[in-house]
Structure formats: C-alpha cells, structure tokens
C-alpha cells in the first residue's frame, strides 16, 4: 500500500517561522528528503530516516520522495520558504506529469510556508502594499532574454518587483545587468531594498536608492525588492521603513 508525500515549506530560516502544521508532519514522518542545508535546519525525531541530496537535482529528489511514498513511507520533502514558490512542489508535479502511472496512488499534500518575499517585506515595512510580482533571476531553467523581458515589462507596468536568486558565483554578472536595465527604464531615485538571510543570525537589511546600488550588494541569500514609482522611505521611532501606498490613480474621498 502506498504511503504519503507531504511537501513542507520550512520558511525563511528561523525555527519560529515554521508553521505548526509543518512541525507536526515532520514529527510524524518516517523519511525526510531534502537538500542538505535544509535538513540541517531540522531536529529530526529518533527513528526518522534522512535522505540528503545536493543542489541542482530537484527532479531526482522529487522522484526519490515519490518512490519512498510508493513503498509505504510517510515522506516529508522539505524546502525553504513556501514549496510552491520557486521550490519543490513544481518539481514533484513535473515528475508525476512525466510518469503519471508510476505514482498514481501516492497521496500528496502541499504544506505552505512563509516565503522569503513575505519575510523580507515584513522586515522592510510594507513594500508590497500594492500590486507586485516575483521574478527568479536565475537563468538555469529559462533564458536570460526572457528574464530581461519580464523585468522590463514589470517596470513598465509599475509593479513592485521581488527578485529571487539575484547573484551567485556561477552568475556574477546577472544582477549588474539587472541594475543596468533598471537605470535605463526607470528613475535613479527608485527605492531598492536588500534583505539578506532574513530571520537568521546573519540577517542584513538595507534600503537605498537605485543610483547607490552596486551588484555586490546581492547574493543567493538576498531577496531584492524594487519599489514602484510611488514607493516611499520614511523615518519612524528611529527606524527607516519602506512602504508602497495602497492608493493608485484615484482621488481620496474626503
């Protein structure tokens, strides 16, 4: 008889931001599958079996979790943030879509988690108080030309833009190209927030103007928030906050 597969979002980093539902599923799991650094965040139960894997093998990891479930295991497949946002839920369904009969009997659950975007926005203030979008700046799974097109159109539409995976050792020049594009298509006073390793001991938050941004301010642990034309920076109680007003293009009622 087939077991079950729960795809579990561990949130941005702090154990306090893991949902009670996720904690309960992890306690009940017979097997936990995940990228090594995510499994390292856990305090596993005594009899659970851990299945670690490296970076860049998401589809293989999904297949392993599904096969364990077919063998009757209660599997938790862990991922950071929310499993449906640039994470493992899509990889699981890609595997199922390619081999629907192999895993037809597996019970699959998706357990939401706090995304890097939401955690970063909370630290910064209220930057996504109006319409926003999220773009993954990694070109590992899509061409750079498409990333550039989506960025350009998002700026044209005046969205607040959350940028995931802005810069890595393998892609050192990508974020520099993003900054060049922004400077070509928007004003230099646009507010940009850098939120690195949010909710961990290494957290760093910085909000500055586009004209002051440098590529090395971002890395793979950084969520970059690009404000829209109305996004503001204010001081309150000795702290700098960034927020985007709710009202757009309408006259306030008296």
Q: What is the pLDDT of residues 76-118, one digit of tens each?
A: 999 999 999 999 999 999 999 999 999 999 999 999 999 999 9
Quick one: pLDDT at residue 224? 98
For the stretch 36-51, pLDDT in tens is 989 988 876 778 999 9
**Structure confidence at residue 169 as a pLDDT band (50, 70, 90):** confident
Start-to-end CA distance of the chain, whole Å, equals: 65
CA separation for the pair 77, 117 (Å, rounded)? 21
Quick one: pLDDT at residue 2? 74
**Structure confidence at residue 157 as a pLDDT band (50, 70, 90):** very high
**Structure confidence at residue 168 as a pLDDT band (50, 70, 90):** confident
Angle, CA of 21, 26 and 31, to the nearest 5°: 145
Quick one: pLDDT at residue 254? 45
The token pair at 186 is 């928007």
The pTM of the full predicted model, rounded to 2 decimals, is: 0.91
Residues in the chain: 254
The answer to whether 220 touches 38, Cβ cutoff 8 Å, is no
């Amino acid at each position: 008889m087939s077991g079950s597969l729960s795809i579990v979002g561990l949130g941005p980093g702090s154990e306090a931001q893991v949902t009670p539902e996720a904690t309960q599923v992890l306690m009940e799991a017979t097997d936990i599958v995940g990228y090594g650094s995510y499994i390292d965040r856990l305090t596993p139960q005594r009899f659970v079996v851990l299945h670690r894997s490296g970076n860049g093998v998401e589809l293989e990891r999904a297949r392993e979790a599904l096969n364990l479930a077919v063998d009757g295991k209660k599997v938790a497949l862990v991922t950071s943030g929310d499993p449906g946002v640039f994470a493992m839920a899509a990889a699981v369904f890609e595997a199922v879509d390619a081999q629907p009969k192999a895993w037809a009997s597996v019970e699959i659950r998706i357990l939401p988690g706090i995304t890097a975007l939401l955690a970063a926005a909370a630290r910064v203030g209220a930057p996504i108080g109006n319409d926003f979008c999220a773009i993954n700046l990694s070109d590992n799974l899509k061409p750079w030309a498409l990333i550039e097109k989506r960025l350009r159109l998002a700026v044209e539409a005046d969205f607040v833009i959350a940028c995931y995976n802005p810069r890595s050792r393998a892609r050192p020049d990508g974020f520099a190209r993003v900054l060049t594009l922004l400077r070509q298509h928007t004003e230099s006073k646009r507010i940009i927030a850098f939120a690195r390793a949010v909710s961990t001991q290494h957290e760093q938050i910085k909000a500055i103007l586009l004209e002051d941004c440098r590529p090395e301010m971002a890395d793979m642990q950084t969520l970059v928030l690009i404000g829209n034309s109305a996004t503001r920076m204010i001081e309150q109680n000795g702290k700098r906050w960034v927020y985007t007003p709710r009202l757009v293009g309408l006259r306030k009622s008296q």
